[in-house]
Amino acid sequence: MPDSPAPPEQPHNRLHGITLETMVRALQAHYGWEDLGRRIPIRCFTHDPSVNSSLKFLRKTPWAREKVEGLYLFMGREIKRAQGHP
């Protein structure tokens, strides 16, 4: 059986190698569930939130995952700015 081809490199994808769980945990740690639910008003963040329930929903809901990915990137830029990086 031939070897599977290696996944393509993604040098311009800032989310490459970052799992959805890593993003949710980082957002929750930075903003807290309450603020996260205000920024992205989806039920898994506003009603009895947990990492597991959020992951379950986000894996099935592409539009919500896109919002999480966008906020994660924004948070990274916000943190760099606060540390004095351009």
pLDDT in tens, the chain (86 residues): 556 665 566 666 778 788 999 999 999 999 999 999 999 999 999 999 999 999 999 999 999 999 999 999 999 999 888 888 76
**Quick one: CATH architecture of 20-82?**
Orthogonal Bundle (1.10)
User: What is the reported pLDDT for 8?
Assistant: 61
User: What is the reported pLDDT for 35?
Assistant: 96
User: What is the reported pLDDT for 9?
Assistant: 61
Whether the model pTM is above 0.85? no
Q: How does 26-35 read in b/e, with b if 16+ C-beta sit within 10 Å?
A: ebbeebebee
Closest CA to 68 of 85, 11, 60: 60
